[in-house]
Structure 1
Amino acid sequence: MRKTLLAVALAGMVAFAPVYAQSIHVPKIQYSERVLANGMRVISVPDKTNPTVSVQVWYDVGSKNDPQGRSGFAHLFEHIMFKSTKNMKSEQFDRMTEDVGGMNNASTSDDYTNYFESVPANHLQRLLWAEAERLSNLNVDEANFKSERAVVQEEYRQSVLSNPYGKLFNALSTLSYTTHPYKRSTIGSIEDLDAASVQDVIDFHKTYYRPDNAVLIVAGNFDQKQLDGWVDQYFAWIPKPATAIPRVTVKEPVRTADKRFTVKSPVAPTPGLLIDWLVPPSNHPDMAALDVASSLLSQGESSRLYQRLVYKEQVALEASAGLDGRVDTGLFYLLAILNAGHTPAEAEAMMLDEVKKLATGEITDAELDKVKTQVLTSRLTRMQSAQGKGMMLGSAVIIEGSAARANASLEEYQRVTAADVQRVLKKYILDGKKVTIDYLPEQAATADKKGGAK
């Protein structure tokens, strides 16, 4: 019986678990790259053991590129891309994927917008045609614009206004950045979306949806020569505009002081807390150690924050740490959703204490080995599917600047030591300036202001 890549790798982890310094062999993603004459980058990942194929197109445009006063534009355009084209009806991507047992979806981040499909391998050709079709022949008209704007506005109401902690999560970027356009929320605002026009959308499409701003990734079961022919047939003819692609050049300044904000919610049942620090871009050598640090703090129920805040002290329903890596300056953050009767100040003191202990106290080999094994296992699991491999490569290209980073980052995790973890925590967290967001139910916030809260 054929062993899977994951089974072989995990067997290696068990064999070497007591001494992590001996590197675990992590198989690399095998891929090839080429660039079309119009500037489109093409990455192919053949896998004959897989009966499916994943087609992905990553555009180097995200919410940081939203026009001034038009927050949410990149996300709005993600929705419009599923509407009609010159030769396709609205929602035809659903029929071309779901009706044959596949799937399709898309996402928008601060730095990119990606579209991805997984289907049986014999449907590859028409998906390539369809992706080229919506790149080159999208119908951006008043009807499509208004219908999708309404959808996005309703999504804002559900995910930000109705979600008990939606306003807290939305505040992470908007209050943490002072200068960089990362301070604009990806989902935008209802007011900015109302102010948009169909001409704004047409201009956005012409500016960013072009072959030299796109990365096509095909992973799965295909013949390389046949794939190259189809890519040339459907994408190579699309002209490259003569105008330059606008790029964000603004840099977030170094923080010189701590800041504190209060956000109130009419729907939150209990308080919450967010604390964050600025960290380097995703391709910086320190990011692997920062990621391991966040995992040591919050990966699983045996992690330090869970044990302290949720299990022992029982001040929080949830306590976690995270690393939000981006093309430019990112964030390292702590999050707590509190139990009734407890305050953000209680959680803040405990979380900062645990960070200090991690940065200055003992990190055992067993604790570090466990977390690194979990990180590597998660990435190896993603590598089992064609879509997972494509996602790793797409993120590496856009966020870190090179497809090679998909493989290199795994090796960097293996090399992280306890000393590395403590060095980066001292440098960026203990010696850094933080933004703290107290999240209060409106009734509690009002009572606090009047001095009547207990």
Structure 2
Amino acid sequence: MKRSILGLVLVAATASVQAQKVAYTEYKLKNGLGVVLHQDKTAPVVAVSVMYHVGSKDEQPNRTGFAHFFEHLLFEGSDNIKRGEFDKIVSSSGGQANANTSQDRTFYYETFPSNQLETGLWLESERMMHPVINEIGVKTQNEVVKEEKRLRVDNQPYGNFLPEVMKRLFTKHPYTWVPIGSMEHLDAATLDEFKAFNKKYYGPSNAVLVIAGDIDIAKTKQLVDAYFGPIPGNAPVVKTKYTETPITKEIIDSAFDSNIQIPAVITAYRVPGMTSKESKILEMASAVLSQGSSSRMFKKMVDDKKNSLQVGSFSYALEDYGAYFMYALPNNDTPLDTLVKDMDDEIVKLQNELISEKEFTKLLNQFENQYVDKNNRMLGVAENLADGYTFFKNTNNINTELEELRRSPGRIYRMLLKNT
């Protein structure tokens, strides 16, 4: 189900949580690699991360799943790291490594004791400079991705809700498919196609290296130059701009899932992208509506009316557009239309009635606590800095995003999300 208009009115209150500014050093290597360094000597740990500005939206419609596939494939090894040795090197050095992929970016990272900084830099430079992409690695990771899809999507209750909604919410933009992609497309792809995808997107001009933790800035610069400076530059990636046709009427549809016994009703809105002010306000709306047992929809539908087993909402923020979801699971054969009406009624209240200053103070404190908590972890700082560099074109966004929430008492945020 699609909706086209959502309004929201909030009253701002005085913030009570004070977050320290995140100091950083930012520069760019001659090959185009962005570098951001953050020094924090409170603990002897360091996070080494590389964010590539490539996700599933950069794939071809007949070759979906490539970006997520490379999340796995680039752990296979390099000219100087034998196949299967990457994780062994990390663990033997007292570290942890992982990666994740979205529609818009791929994020690789390691956390180490700070005396292993050079190990992390070597690993990530190897991944970028000369990864081994061969038939053995492709075949192995193809099976890994298939198993992940079976586990997280195909055999997971409600695991197909996001793909089903996105392909209806977006008709022109590549957001119409999700990062896991099509297994048939991966099976049909040639080795040359994988190599071409790597050459285009996984070079220094399409990436930012972020190092956060117990480091010496001057020495770290020398190490970065030694490991990443020799990597040849790649051609700048030109992103294709996709414009969706406005949603002009409600669309009602259904999808079958053999893994569930209780149906779910989902309403979805196409909304502005993550860099818009509206995106943050939608996150706040979700907290008002469904975060915790005292939230409006939970209290109304689960506690009071008892017509829902579960109810929720969340903002799915992406670079070009976003999606806003509301969902409910019926209790005692409650008609799904009843649940939709109850959820819509709460939206109308947010459109037309100011929330109290007390309620907004609580909301603001929740968001500021989340912000402070994430920036207390070196990996969280690294990812926030990378997000600012990549999406906001402003690394200092890590220090200014709270200013969008902190306003003088009585100021009114008013947002009207028209069909886009």
TM-score, normalisation: structure 2: 0.93
What CA distance in whole angstroms lies between the structure 2 residues aligned with 1:389 and 1:337? 36
State the AA in 2 paired with 1:388.
G
Q: Evaluate the alpha carbon distance shift between residue 89 and residue 22 of structure 1 in structure 2; reply closer, same or farther with a 3 A threshold.
A: closer
Decide whether aligned partners of structure 1 residues 401 and 418 sit closer, same or farther in structure 2, where only a CA change above 3 A counts.
Answer: farther
Contact 2:163 2:177 in 1 (8 A): no
Q: How does 1:8-157 map to 2 (within 5 A)?
A: 20-21=13-14, 24-157=17-150
Corresponding residue for residue 235 of structure 1 = 228
2:279 is aligned with 1:284: no
Bigger mean CA offset, 276-285 vs 103-112? 276-285
Pick aligned residue for 1:394 from 382, 386, 391: 386
- Is 1:406 the counterpart of 2:406? The answer is no
Residues 3-24 of structure 1: CA distance to partner in whole angstroms, max 9, x if unpaired?
xxxxxxxxxxxxxxxx933665
**Map of 1:259 onto structure 2:** 251
1:223 to 207, 216, 221: 216
Structure 2 counterpart of 1:234, which letter? Y
- What is the rounded CA distance, in whole Å, between the counterparts of 2:290 and 2:365 in structure 1? 15
> Residue 64 of structure 2 contacts residue 185 of structure 2 at CA under 8 Å; is this kept in 1?
yes
TM-score (normalizing by structure 1): 0.86
* Pick aligned residue for 1:363 from 355, 360, 371: 355
In the alignment, which residue of structure 1 is the partner of 2:344?
Answer: 352
Could you tell me the percent identity over the aligned residues? Answer: 32
Contact 1:289 1:416 in 2 (8 A): no
Partner Cα separation in structure 1 for residue 92 and residue 163 of structure 2: 35
Please state how far the C-alpha of 1:184 moved relative to its aligned partner: 1.5
> Are 1:299 and 2:264 matched, yes or no?
no
Question: Cα offset for 1:367?
Answer: 1.0
| Aligned partner of 1:338 among 320, 330, 355 | 330
Which structure 2 segments of 5+ residues have no match? 1-11
SS of the residue corresponding to residue 259 of structure 1 reads: coil
Cα displacement (A) at 1:358: 2.0
Return the alpha-carbon distance in structure 2 between the equivalents of residues 309 and 274 of structure 1.
15
- Answer whether contact 1:278 1:330 (CA < 8 A) is retained: yes
Matched, 1:200 2:193: yes
Alpha-carbon spacing, 1:91–1:312, altered in 2? closer, same or farther (3 Å): farther
C-alpha displacement of 1:252: 2.1
Q: Tell me if the contact between 1:363 and 1:418 (Cα under 8 Å) persists in the aligned partners.
A: no
Q: Structure 1 residue 169: deviation in Å?
A: 2.6
The question of whether the paired residues in 2 share the 8 Å contact of 1:59 and 1:209 is answered with yes
Unaligned ranges ≥5, structure 1: 1-18, 434-454
Distance in 2 of aligned mates of 1:415 and 1:96: 48
Q: CA RMSD in A?
A: 1.9
Displacement after TM superposition at 1:392 (Å) = 1.2
Residue deviations 1:151-204 (CA, integer Å, cap 9, x gap): 111211111110110011332322211111111211112222222222211110
Match of 1:178 in 2: 171
Partner of 1:12: none
Deviations 1:345-389 (A, max 9, x none): 221111111111122124111111111111110110011111111
Cα drift, residue 313 of structure 1: 2.0
Deviations 1:61-119 (A, max 9, x none): 00101122111110001100110210102333322322333211100001000001111
User: CA separation in 2, counterparts of 1:96 and 1:292?
Assistant: 42
Between the aligned partners of 2:164 and 2:368, the Cα distance in structure 1 is 31
Deviation track 1:233-291 (CA, whole Å, cap 9, x = no partner) reads 010111113x4424121122322222122111111120112212122222223333222
CA–CA distance in 1 between the matches of 2:150 and 2:140?
Answer: 16
Aligned partner of 1:379 among 371, 375, 382: 371
- Would you say 1:159 and 2:152 are equivalent positions? yes
> What secondary structure, in the 3-state scheme, does the structure 1 residue paired with 2:384 have?
helix
Q: How many aligned positions are there? A: 409
* Structure 2 CA distance for partners of 1:34 and 1:351, relative to 1, 3 Å: same
Distance 1:204 1:384, change over 3 A: same
What is the alpha-carbon distance in structure 2 between the residues aligned to residue 401 and residue 274 of structure 1? Answer: 34
Distance in structure 2 (CA, Å) of the matches to 1:172 and 1:35: 39
> Retained in 2: the 8 A contact 1:289–1:420?
no
Q: Distance in 2 between matches of 1:338 and 1:123?
A: 52
Q: Cα distance, 1:218 vs. partner?
A: 0.1
- The CA deviation at 1:432 is 4.4
Q: Which residue of 2 aligns with 1:314?
A: 306
Q: 1:68 to 1:313 in 2, by over 3 A?
A: same
Rounded to whole Å, the distance in 2 between the matches of 1:91 and 1:317 is 45
- Match of 1:264, SS state, is coil
**Secondary structure of residue in 2 paired with 1:363:** coil
Q: Greater relative contact order (Cα 8 A, min sep 6): structure 1 or 2?
A: 2
Partner AA of 1:320 in structure 2: G
Determine the C-alpha separation between the residues in 1 that align with 2:374 and 2:100.
17
In structure 1, the residue matched to 2:319 is 327
SS at match of 2:395: coil
- Contact 2:246-2:419 at 8 Å conserved across structures: no
2: distance between equivalents of 1:419 and 1:271?
A: 41
- For the residue of structure 2 that corresponds to 1:227, the secondary structure is helix
Cα 1:391–1:87 change in 2 (3 A) is same
Structure with more helix by fraction: 1
Structure 1, 332-341 or 38-47: larger mean CA deviation: 332-341
Are residues 417 and 99 of structure 1, via their aligned partners in 2, closer, same or farther at CA, if it must alter by over 3 Å?
farther
Change in 2 beyond 3 A, CA 1:87/1:339: farther
Contact in 2 for aligned 1:24/1:414 (Cα 8 Å) = no
Local SS of the residue matching 1:320: strand
- Letter of the structure 1 residue corresponding to residue 200 of structure 2: T
